[in-house]
Amino acid sequence: MTQQRDVVVVGGGQAGLAAGYHLRRRGLDFVILDADAMPGGSWQHMWDSLHLFSPAEHSSLPGRLMPAQAGETYPGAGHVVNYLADYEKRYDLPVQHGTRVKAVHHDTDRLLVEADSGTWRARAVISATGNWSRPFLPAVPGHSTFTGRHLHTVNYRSPADFAGQRVVVVGGGNSGAQIGADLALDGRVEVTWVTRRPPRFLLDDIDGRALFGVATARRRALDAGRIDTGGVASLGDIVAVPSVRTARDAGLLTAKPMFTRLTVTGVRWADGSQSNADAIVWCTGFRPALSHLAPLNLRGSRGRIPTDGTRALGEPRLHLLGYGDWTGPASATLIGVGRTARDAARAITQQLS
Ligand code: FAD
């Protein structure tokens, strides 16, 4: 049976919940369809030792401050999962977990949302499916010849899985640095960290609070037609969270330039020498998870859909939330997504009236 809603939100991670909060405030009739069986979005799949790069009070969704985690300045991923589960319940958000959206189609005056458990006709759709389910692996010569384990950030859980092994961690962003530090500090793993360019650490006293401030200042500057300051990217790539700082200061987190190819047993360096490895952990980022929107034929470059704010340029009834700065400054962060969600809910309300 086909159900009707004003708005269908696809994805029930932090972005989908923030959308739900603002849709509810505007009195719209909506449902949130989420592929995961449990609340928490991608946070429930992240590695055991992961901590936020901002304190709890600077990592909150609209309406409800994240409580502090006892004994931790920077809350762990499990704490975020609990917060999101509580948020969902507190605002009685209509999330249908375990419901994967397969496709969104045009359907005369509506959009048709086809999920594995039913079909919804909607006057507007917010896509908030994040990036976690689309890990990106670069093409590297010899990839398929390597007989050890290939993992991506999404498959990494803890150093215990690599005790006694030689692991090459690839990637100069936060995931690479944090997983490299996690493995190096454990003491049982021989870690080699490789990056395409020398790693750029942010100053030690810069955490997510300062980053959000910089992102906000950039947005104001752009809105006012002033010069683009370059925002957060101009400061560096890696937040020196405590584990990264400890490993770096102990000399355990020193990056090597990228290897030239993979061999059967490991990697070959630019000078022709080789190192053996049992596993390669690719911390090489993500692409937006947008395959359910393929029937709408909206694809732009880099796997994105061109938008004006959150609204898709080619389909005004479709909004994209989260994913990255391209859907709104800091839209892929806990503290930043609230504002973009508010803007999307406002635009949809205007459209429906
Ligand atoms: P997700 O959390 O990925 O949620 C998407 C939801 O959509 C999931 O529940 C999924 O099941 C569902 N879904 C996907 N496809 C479908 C489909 N076809 N049908 C139905 N449902 C679907 N941000 C911060 O603010 N602070 C930090 O410290 C921080 N650290 C980070 C560390 C790492 C390693 C990473 C990767 C990110 C970090 N971020 C941080 C960034 C950001 O907060 C996360 O990426 C965040 O999880 C994005 O939320 P989201 O709701 O957009 O997507």
pLDDT 10s digits, 144-172: 999 999 999 999 999 999 999 999 999 99
CATH architecture of 149-201+237-282: 3-Layer(bba) Sandwich (3.50)
SS3 category, 274: strand
* 61 phi-psi bin (left φ>0, alpha ψ -120 to 50, beta other): beta
Question: Is 334 close to ligand 1, i.e. is its CB under 6 Å away?
Answer: yes
Amino acid, res. 55:
P
Atom of ligand 1 nearest to the CA of 59: 25
Angle between helices 174-186 and 242-249 (to 10 degrees): 60
Question: Is 13 close to ligand 1, i.e. is its CB under 6 Å away?
Answer: yes
* 285 phi-psi bin (left φ>0, alpha ψ -120 to 50, beta other): left
* 48 phi-psi bin (left φ>0, alpha ψ -120 to 50, beta other): alpha
Taking the C-alpha atoms of residue 305 and residue 320, their distance in angstroms, rounded to an integer, is 8
* Mean pLDDT to the nearest integer, 27-39: 98
Q: CA 208: distance to chain centroid?
A: 15
* Spacing, Cα 161 to ligand 1 middle (Å): 24
Could you tell me the pTM of the whole model?
Answer: 0.93
Domain 2-133+286-352 is found in CATH 3.50.50.60? yes
pLDDT per residue as tens digits for the range 174-201: 999 999 999 999 999 999 999 999 999 8
CATH 3.50.50.60 residue spans of the chain? 2-133+286-352, 149-201+237-282
* Spacing, Cα 190 to ligand 1 middle (Å): 30
Q: CA 198: distance to chain centroid?
A: 23
Q: Quick one: pLDDT band at residue 1, thresholds 50, 70, 90?
A: confident
